[in-house]
Each structure stands twice: as structure tokens, then as C-alpha cells.
Amino acid sequence: MIRATTVIDIGGTHMRWADWSPEGGLSHRKRLPAPGFRQYPGLPVPQLQELLVNAICKIPPQDKHSLVGISFGAAMDHRNGTVYASAPLWGAHDVPFNLFDELSRRRSDVDWCVVNDVTAALMHIISTPLCAQDRKVMLVTISTGIAARIIDRTTRYIPFDAGGLQGEIGHLPAVAKLAGEPVVLDCDCGKAGHLSAYASGRGIANLAQVLRQRQPDEWAVSELGRRMADGESFEEAFTATVGADDNIAITLLSAATAPVADVLRTALCLNPDLDRIILTGGVAVSLGEHYKASVMAHLNREGIYLTSKLYPRWIEDRLVVSEADCLIGAGIAATMEIRP
């Protein structure tokens, strides 16, 4: 008997869900705001977690032995479903919370599978023709949060450390500059100088405020500045003005992609057997080839010792921007029994 499969993606801004099958794909998509500290300022994290669990448990059909795959934007132990932290949802809170056990206790009629959203995105992308000839694939998501995951596609093996973690690059130390001067910004996790503080969606918006303060005249006459002065949201204005080669927007994008390029350079230096690096997530996908070009501009200026000189296209041939669907990936992970 084929069981109903529900797939849920919990991000820093929204939670989405749908029905899914390998044959029919996604159907009956729905979306709600995710219950995080920005939506409920001042509410203690345990209460936010309670709201989240309640919301999840209402989604699977009642009176059926359902299979549910969850993609969760959080640093988590993939061995047992324990969530360590989710800066976009819970800020600096990092008390472990076993989401898998809590869901199983509340809805024992459901067969739960909980994976990190980057794992889910990776499971989807390696099932597409893009990676058909690749063995070792790295996926980097640039969105509300930032993280990465590496998999051996032939074995589906994802290595994890002692904490069941891999690729929490968003919280690596990073350096950013604007107008030639260093910038130090706080990450959602509460610490300063992390990659996410500069390169995530909110990080870029915060960089924009710094640039506006440092170059007020240039900002005022820029297309980005004018659009925002007319009431357009930063995300919409930034995407449009990058595409229009607005100087301030391109300066901002370059500042945000520089620390990303630093991480990718190191990854390729230490993992020369990476066949593909995929940049995904709302920021990277919305900017598309402009985002890749900005990253590559940094890597062309400062590449990998000798390799970039001997084989100038070696990095670029491996790097691609592509959309990955965490909902599909959550379904693949659940049916493959990638679970605690």
C-alpha cells in the first residue's frame, strides 16, 4: 500500500507544505508565516517551539499512517533529529531541542523524517540531470540563512562530525568591506563577524544601511536609492538594480559575495574532487548569473594557488546557480529512509 506523503519546508520566514509522490510530484501547496522571534517579538523560545510543533502536527492527515518529510532551516544533529539552533527563527538561542522526538510523541500515527533544509535541497538537486555526471557535489544555500552540504552522489553518503553536523558555514568568521573600509555586523545568532551577517538576505540589507551612511550622496542618486525612496522593498529594488548594473547595487553585491568566495576558494582547495558546486537559495537564485559573476570576479582576482593560473576555467566550470526545491528533497529523504 502506498502511503500518503506530506512534505514540509520550515524556513526562517515561511513554512510551506504539499502532498508529494515520485510519480506525480508536488500538489496542494500551502504556506504560512513561520512562528519565529521576528513574528512574535518578546515571546520565549520554548513557546515559539511549541507554536511550531503545533503548526506542524496539524498538517498531516488524521486517522492515517502518514509519511511526513520535513526540511528544517536549522543546525541539527542528523543522527537523531535534535535541533541545536535556528538563528533565523530563534535568534541566539542554542539549547538543544529534539524536534523528531516531540513530533513522534504528539503524532505517533505519523512516520516522521526530519532533515536540515540544505540536505533536502541537496537530495533534490542530485536527482536532476544537472548532476547526472557528477560524483561529489557541494550545495550552498544563500538565503535567510547560509549553510552548505557535501554528498557523494554514488553512495548518497553525507559525512557528519561528532555533533551530527556538516557545513554550517554561515557561522564561520568572515571579513567584509564597504567603500574600502571594514564592516562589522552582528549575525542573527548573536555573534559578530559571521558569514551570514554579510551575505544572507538580511545581511545584505544591513550592509546596504552601512553603505547608505558611508556614501549618502552616491546612494541618493543611485537607482537603488531612488527605488527605495519611492517605497519599493529592498529585496525587489536590489534585484532590479543589480540587473540594471547600478553602481551602488553592484558595489553592495560585491561586498556580500567576497566572503562567500573566500569559503568556496577554501572548499575547492581542500576538496579538489568536487565535481560541482551549486549555489541556491532566494538570494542566489533571484540574482542568477549576476550572483555567479560577482563570486567569480573575486575568485578570478584571488584564485587557488597555481591551479587558477594553469587552468583558468577550473573553478568556473564547477560553479552553477540553480534552484533546488526543499519540498521535493524532503520527500526523497523520507522515502529513502534518511531519518533518525
CB-neighbour burial class of residue 180 (10 A; exposed 0-12, middle 13-18, buried 19+): exposed
Q: Are residues 97 and 211 in the same domain?
A: no
Q: Are residues 310 and 329 in the same domain?
A: no
Q: Are residues 208 and 248 in the same domain?
A: yes
* 198 and 207 Cβ atoms separated by less than 8 Å: yes
Contacts of 35 (CB under 8 A, 6+ apart): 48, 51, 52, 55, 89
Question: Is residue 292 a part of any domain in this protein?
Answer: yes
Instruction: Name the band, by pLDDT with cuts 50, 70 and 90, for residue 4.
Output: low
CA dist 272 and 144 (Å) reads 29
Question: Is residue 163 a part of any domain in this protein?
Answer: no
- Scanning the structure block, which residue is given the C-alpha cell 502532498? 19
pLDDT tens, 139-169?
A: 999 998 899 999 999 998 999 999 999 999 9
Q: Are residues 185 and 71 in the same domain?
A: no
Using a pLDDT cut of 70, give the percent of the chain over it: 97
Q: Are residues 317 and 329 in the same domain?
A: no
CA dist 202 and 188 (Å) reads 9
Q: Are residues 101 and 116 in the same domain?
A: yes
Least confident range from 78-87, 202-211, 225-234, 330-339: namely 330-339
Question: Is residue 296 a part of any domain in this protein?
Answer: yes
Question: Is residue 14 a part of any domain in this protein?
Answer: yes
Question: Is residue 139 a part of any domain in this protein?
Answer: no
Q: Are residues 219 and 292 in the same domain?
A: yes
CA dist 281 and 26 (Å) reads 19
Torsion over CA of 86, 91, 93 and 97, rounded to 10 degrees?
-30
Q: Are residues 191 and 286 in the same domain?
A: yes
Range of the domain at 214: 168-274+282-321
pLDDT tens, 34-50?
A: 999 989 999 999 999 99
* 57 and 106 Cβ atoms separated by less than 8 Å: yes
Report the pLDDT value the prediction gives residue 338, as an integer from 0 to 100: 53
CA dist 135 and 112 (Å) reads 29
What CATH number does the domain containing 42 carry?
3.30.420.40
Q: Are residues 247 and 103 in the same domain?
A: no
Q: Are residues 33 and 106 in the same domain?
A: yes
Q: Are residues 16 and 58 in the same domain?
A: yes
Question: Is residue 140 a part of any domain in this protein?
Answer: no
pLDDT tens, 251-274?
A: 999 999 999 999 999 999 999 999
DSSP one-letter code for 13 = S
Closest CA to 182 of 172, 197, 171: 197
Report the pLDDT value the prediction gives residue 340, as an integer from 0 to 100: 45
Question: Is residue 191 a part of any domain in this protein?
Answer: yes
Count how many domains the chain has: 2
Question: Is residue 67 a part of any domain in this protein?
Answer: yes
Q: Are residues 194 and 266 in the same domain?
A: yes
